[in-house]
Amino acid sequence: MDWNLYDPGAFHDELISTPGNARAAARGVVSYLRKFTGRHLAMRQRAAETAIQEMGVSFTIYSEGENIDRSWPMDIIPRVIALKEWQRLEEGLIQRLTALNLFIDDLYNDRKIIKDGIFPEEIVLGSKDFLEACIGAKPKYGVWANICGSDLVRDRDGTVYVLEDNLRVPSGVSYMLENRAVTKRVLPQLFRKHSILPVDDYTSQLYDMLSSLSPRAVENPEVVVMTPGIFNSAYFEHAYLAQKMGAELVEGADLVVGDDDCVYMKTINGLERVDVIYRRINDDFLDPETFRADSRLGTPGLFRAWRKGNVALANAPGAGVADDKVVYTYVPRIIKYYLDQDPIIPNVPSFLCVDPQQREHVLANLETMVVKPANESGGYGMLVGPASTKAERAAFAELIQKSPRNYMAQPALSLSTAPTLCEHHIEPRHLDLRPFILQGEGHYVTAGGLTRVALRKGSLVVNSSQGGGSKDTWVVDTEAK
């Protein structure tokens, strides 16, 4: 396999700077991989796929009314980031989540940002994720989104942007951890020769952060992971994180709220008090007493117990108000307002369809735009203009004109690429990165994150539910001895 023939074209490649030349942080990796034939690398790839099957690493997609369980797709050629660049990105991620939590807390309490004319009240009132029931609530440390997954992309000029923030129930961290475990199995020599920052401490950091939210001052708070059940697409992750943290994995029916407005878990020895719930259930289904009355996934009275300070919920109900893709366009102003700082990581230039002038610009340029609904996730419900048909653009134009508040648009970026194994040779594939940020009393950021890859040639859609895959992400200290 001739790496000198690999050419990403006009795109910024994460490993290769120009044909035949690796970027500084990736030189050791590329030098090592050059020694293998395409057939040998393909054998390592098959070994990785076998390991993934043996480890039971899977995800669920929903197709034509069926739940299809699939092995996690992973490419063995890692994505490499230099430590110096990563340290700056880490600062930017902490800055962003700090400001967003101040923003959420303000919206549900004093609303200073609205009173000062920085943020429009109608955007809040038009958000389906703004929960009036949360007004006046005060989670511990003033933090509503304790776990965040912000998606980063790099454009052709090398600039890294935040594409979106995931503040409700962000998923994917278990796949980041398993990608590392699989890569260590199939490319062990690389780990002995390179100073790669570890990611293994994530679950202990998560447990410590969750424990710190306990309303009771006890040495070992009872922390549980609350799942909608085995048919959820991220159930593997729910079970994985519970097992790694030594926490109980529960469903809504396993919990009960007592007359004292405390939450208890049903066990064979009777009821046990629960202090912290890492919930992987959307707000709507969390508590049929407060939200959807037909929900069979939640626990009646759970929201009441949280409001009274008898249990911690991570992430807090209502945090999704800052997960709105229309709110995203205001984040630079939010950072400036609360922290008096400029954003370290910029937003992708964005257009609000609720604004008449910006809407006209979007409608006139749909073929070059990516149009996103405010509250969808997983790559659903959006228009990728350069890959769309005339009929699809016409249909989207109608949707925008019918409900402009629900849409925002961004110019289609030339997402960076990385070498990806395709049978016995390598080809460039587009990718993004989802680091995971924790906030409680302090902050923690994963060293790298989940790199998602658009496995289809030319595709910009990296979501696993839409045919994407993943890579192990290495933050490499090139100056380590």
DSSP, residue by residue, 187-249 = -HHHHHHS-BPP-TTHHHHHHHHHHHT-SS--SS--EEEE---TTSTTHHHHHHHHHHHTPEE
For tokens 């990718």, what's the residue?
Answer: 431
C-alpha to C-alpha distance for 405 and 329, rounded to whole angstroms: 13
C-alpha to C-alpha distance for 214 and 311, rounded to whole angstroms: 7
Q: Quick: pLDDT tens for 399-422.
A: 999 998 889 999 988 899 999 999
Given 256, 279, 310, which residue is the final one in a domain? 310
Does residue 231 sit in the same domain as residue 303?
yes
For tokens 């809407």, what's the residue?
Answer: 359
C-alpha to C-alpha distance for 22 and 35, rounded to whole angstroms: 15
Residue 466 lies inside a defined structural domain of this protein: no
Total domains in the chain come to 2
Report pTM.
0.93
Rg (CA), the chain: 23
Do residues 418 and 15 lie in contact, with contact meaning Cβ atoms separated by under 8 Å?
yes
Q: Quick: pLDDT tens for 341-364.
A: 999 999 999 999 989 999 999 999
Residues 6+ apart with CB under 8 A from 443: 94, 97, 98, 437
b (16+ CB within 10 A) / e for 46-58: eebbebbeebebe
Provide the residue range defining the domain that includes 376.
351-411
Does residue 306 sit in the same domain as residue 355?
no
Does residue 290 sit in the same domain as residue 376?
no
Residue 400 lies inside a defined structural domain of this protein: yes
Residue 449 lies inside a defined structural domain of this protein: no
Does residue 223 sit in the same domain as residue 306?
yes
Residue 355 lies inside a defined structural domain of this protein: yes
For range 278-303, the mean pLDDT: 96
Do residues 69 and 464 lie in contact, with contact meaning Cβ atoms separated by under 8 Å?
no
**What's the sign of the alpha-carbon dihedral 95, 100, 105, 110?**
positive
For range 324-348, the mean pLDDT: 95
CATH number for 278 = 3.40.50.11290
For range 91-110, the mean pLDDT: 98
